[in-house]
Structure 1
Amino acid sequence: MITGENTMGTALLLAAAPAGKGRLIDATSTLPTLAAVPPSTLTGTAAGTIVELADPTDQQTVLTRVRAAAAASGPLSLFLIGQLHIDGKHGRVHLALARTTPATLRYTALPWEWLVNELKPRRPASTRVVVDLIADPDAWEQIRAHGLTLGHGVSLYGRVAPALPRRRLAQPAYLKAVAGTWRSGVNPPLPELHAKAAAQAGHEGALLLAVDGTPAPAPAPAPAPADTAAAPLDATAEGPLPAILAAAHAGRHGEAASLAARWEAWALQAHGPGSAQAVHWLEVRADLAHLAGDPGSSCELWMAAAGARLARHQAPDSPAVQAAVDRAHHQWQQLRDPQRARDLGPHLVSLRRRVPGRRPGATEAAQRRLEILHSSPRSLPAAQ
């Protein structure tokens, strides 16, 4: 990100959430603190223009403001606070606005791809986006599986967390920590600021984003799968997850699994078994096994992740625990090997009894399928 130049930068502060019971985050509460930060700090330039949008109601108005900010020639800093939802028709991520409801999402929320398209023409390394977002269960599942990016050349830092249970209102603690650091007169590099804010805000169960938009001449070669004890990983490295997911989606499943295993080994050594960091990489490995078409391994890893979260005294009805068990159950249902399904079934049923989940009858369905597996050893019941 360009800093310290004698150019005019722009900072766009966008905080939005639906009114009423659909609100998942107190989005606008951080705006006064951010607005009190010197404009030059927000923009990363000697002088800056600040544009603030608090609970906007119209997606076209927001698009116009984003487009105008993106068209400026100087550096752009975009701060996003709000909540993410999935359009049920097309499966696309949207940022909810003040009048957004589940029925009007496509017409009243801001599609994430609009942001991607508006930022795409900008010069690489001239744009940084800092986010503090809450995702509803459907959006959280998609983001956990596929990540959240804004395209090549855009630096993306921040936190995406699952919605709190029982409709409790989340606080944008990550961006409050960012703003608090700046207001104290300290202005560290963005990766360092990100790490500090994440530690202060807490990131239990959240997905941390750290994607550096600075172009690189060429990617470093991936380590060989067997070389897990090679050169130590850099704990301050910025986008390992996007690079790992990119490898998986490109069909390089061995490379992706090897990198994830190395990061999990680092987390275990640095933070200990059962730590939030270790559980995070366990869940990444579960996602990668699913992408590689290995439902048995994915089921095992999701069950291990759920067990680790429960061992950390997370509640059985917490979104992260429920999601882990739901995914383990789904992967178990995809198994076509009866013996493998029988081997994993008792553990899953036991876990289901502790974590029934949001879907009525899930525990009974798992128990019934396991009984059929044992009574008809050569056949495999259809997924329910």
Structure 2
Amino acid sequence: MRRAVTPAPRSEAARSSNNPLIPSYLRIRALAEAGELDRAAQMAAAIDDAAARANGPSHPSALEAREVHAHITAERGELSAAVALYRDVAERWAFLGKQESADEAAARAHALWMRITDPTEAVRAGEAVLRMRTQIPGENGTAYQQAARRLKTLQARQSQTQN
């Protein structure tokens, strides 16, 4: 069984010893590594919700909590939900002017979308990824162009199977 590894919070504030979420992140990581993904996901969702309520949904600590939630969601195989979480994070980082963080979250959303095999689900998630890529197009717009091409291909295949 593949072990999940929860990413560590990346900001200095999140890594500081006075951040109350660090023990929770460590607990989530331990649960995921032990294969207890359902419990890890419940805890990640609760922390995501609590951080957003306490600080606002666009606060850096809330976004970092949401990224942990997205990671665990992906590890559970819920790719569309993870894409939506990472997309939300990417767009909020972009709004805050944190381009590097926005690019990283957008790349994760995009990569997870590429793994979705169900055609209807892939189109639905792809539409959201393409909207995100209009704001966060990647270097020289290449990620946007790639997403647009893939979505067009998926939509064409879907329309052929419906006819």
- TM-score category by the smaller chain? 0.7 to 0.9
Return the TM-score normalized by structure 1.
Answer: 0.37
Name the amino acid aligned to 1:275: H
* Separation in 1, partners of 2:122, 2:16: 35
TM-align CA RMSD: 2.6
CA offset at residue 341 of structure 1?
Answer: 0.9
Aligned match for 2:91, one of 265, 286, 307: 307
* Separation in 1, partners of 2:6, 2:44: 14
* Separation in 1, partners of 2:59, 2:155: 36
Q: Is the Cα–Cα contact under 8 Å of residues 299 and 328 in structure 1 kept in the other structure? A: yes
Name the amino acid aligned to 2:15: L
Query: Which structure 1 residue ranges, 4+ long, deviate > 3 Å from structure 2?
Result: 144-147, 235-238
SS at match of 2:137: coil
Where structure 1 has 5 or more consecutive residues not aligned to the other structure, the ranges are: 1-143, 148-158, 162-197, 212-234, 380-384
Q: Is structure 2 residue 113 aligned with structure 1 residue 332?
A: yes
Name the amino acid aligned to 1:239: P
What does 1:364-383 align with in structure 2 at a 5 Å threshold? 364-377=145-158
Aligned length: 156
SS at match of 1:377: helix
* Separation in 2, partners of 1:327, 1:146: 12
Task: Identify, as 1 or 2, the structure richer in helix.
Answer: 2
Name the amino acid aligned to 1:363: Y
CA offset at residue 359 of structure 1?
Answer: 7.5
Q: Quick check: which has more Rg, 1 or 2?
A: 1
SS at match of 1:367: helix
Return the TM-score normalized by structure 2.
Answer: 0.82
**Which residue matches 1:342?**
123
What does 1:228-377 align with in structure 2 at a 5 Å threshold? 236=20, 239-312=23-96, 314-315=97-98, 318-358=99-139, 361-377=142-158
Where structure 2 has 5 or more consecutive residues not aligned to the other structure, the ranges are: none
* Separation in 2, partners of 1:146, 1:282: 11
What does 1:111-126 align with in structure 2 at a 5 Å threshold? none
Q: Is the Cα–Cα contact under 8 Å of residues 249 and 291 in structure 1 kept in the other structure? A: no
Task: Identify, as 1 or 2, the structure richer in strand.
Answer: 1
* Separation in 1, partners of 2:128, 2:10: 30
SS at match of 1:361: helix
* Separation in 1, partners of 2:80, 2:56: 26
* Separation in 1, partners of 2:23, 2:55: 20
Q: Is the Cα–Cα contact under 8 Å of residues 91 and 135 in structure 2 kept in the other structure? A: no
* Separation in 2, partners of 1:145, 1:358: 26
Name the amino acid aligned to 2:111: H
Deviations 1:336-363 (A, max 9, x none): 1110111121221121122122386221
What is the percent sequence identity of the aligned residues? 24
* Separation in 2, partners of 1:261, 1:253: 12
SS at match of 1:266: helix
Q: Is the Cα–Cα contact under 8 Å of residues 342 and 370 in structure 1 kept in the other structure? A: yes
Deviations 1:259-292 (A, max 9, x none): 1122122212221222222211111111111222
Structure number with the bigger relative contact order (C-alpha 8 A, sep ≥ 6) is 2
Sort the Cα spacing of 1:253 and 1:359 in 2 relative to 1 into closer, same or farther, 3 A.
farther
